Amino acid sequence: MTNSSSRIAFLFPGQGSQAVGMGKELAGNHAVARRTFEEADEALGYKLSQLCFEGPEGKLKLTEITQPAILTASVAAWRVLQEKGLKPDFVAGHSLGEYSAHVAAGTLTFADAVRSVRNRGKYMQEAVPVGVGAMAAILGMALDKVSEVARDAAQGEVCQAANINSPEQVVISGSAGAVDRAIKLAHERGAKKAVGLPVSAPFHCSLMQPAQDRLAADLAALSFQDPSCPVVCNVDAAAITSAEASREALIRQVTGAVRWEPSVRLLIDKGASLFIEVGPGKVLWGLMRQIDRSKTCVTVGDDASLQKTLGQIAAVVA
């Protein structure tokens, strides 16, 4: 634990942060990162490492490959930080990233997590035929107004707030027709922007119930431990500290909204002032700038960002 004035939260990214080449540099320069990719290859029975390092991008974008790929790149980065002596006071992850958070907290073994998220991706993809569901980002509109838009656009179909990302950004999910109607309504009611997202399924809404049921059976069979530090879960934006609460939150998360902004605000209320996005991309760093620019947020996805972050942490914790 650091002193209370600079408590550290590790944040782990979700789907959409993938990029060809992710983790390659860390695996090349750090044995612990290289072993993480080898462990994933072994657990999955195929060369996930090769898809992460070399692509092709089209294959890396397939949900059942994307999910274990981001988890593995994130855990590799976390293990490098751990080796450098850095321990979080709290962890949280955006959607899929919650699994990375639980690996970091010792709730789940990495091998169990990587197989679980491969299945999670597969189940989500199979829950709704391609083209039947959709998602859209609504920018510059308050959550209560977005919820009204979703409700009015539903017309007997599914349309729900799926990702409460920041004061600027709420993502909706549901039936394709309802989401189209919501985009039009949001424009009419003054949203800065409302745009469909290039996703393969309508994540985090009730259409995902078949996926949630299948995943629940998988997670019930796994061994969960009490996390070593509080994990802020998406579905409740609450800190959880027990094995059973962790399992249950991961199950409900499939159909439940990702309450990211409330989760980050909870971490701030609990004294977190240094946030480290651990894994590929800078999505959560960008959201943090919209939520609270006064907090220090840094990223660790490759060697350059690792060195920069270690330097900044030394300055903050000193």
114: exposed, middle or buried (Cβ count in 10 Å: 0-12, 13-18, 19+): buried
- Is 204 in the active site? yes
Other CB atoms within 10 Å distance of the CB of residue 245: 19
- Of 17, 49, 95, 173, which is the active-site residue? 95
Please state, in angstroms and rounded to a whole number, the distance separating the CA atoms of residues 296 and 22: 24
In whole angstroms, give the CA distance from residue 18 to residue 13. Answer: 9
Question: How far is residue 201's CA from residue 173's CA, in Å, rounded to a whole number?
Answer: 9
Largest CA distance in the chain: 57
Indicate which residue of 204, 246, 273, 305 is catalytic.
204
Contacting residues for 200 by C-beta, under 8 A, at least 6 apart? 62, 63, 125, 130
Active site residue 187: no
**CA-to-CA distance for 266 and 257, rounded, in angstroms?**
16
Contact 122, 64 (CB under 8 A): yes
Query: Among 261, 245, 259, 17, which Cα is nearest to 162's?
Result: 259
Beta-carbon neighbour count of residue 173 at 10 Å? 30
Query: Catalytic residues, which ones?
Result: 95, 204
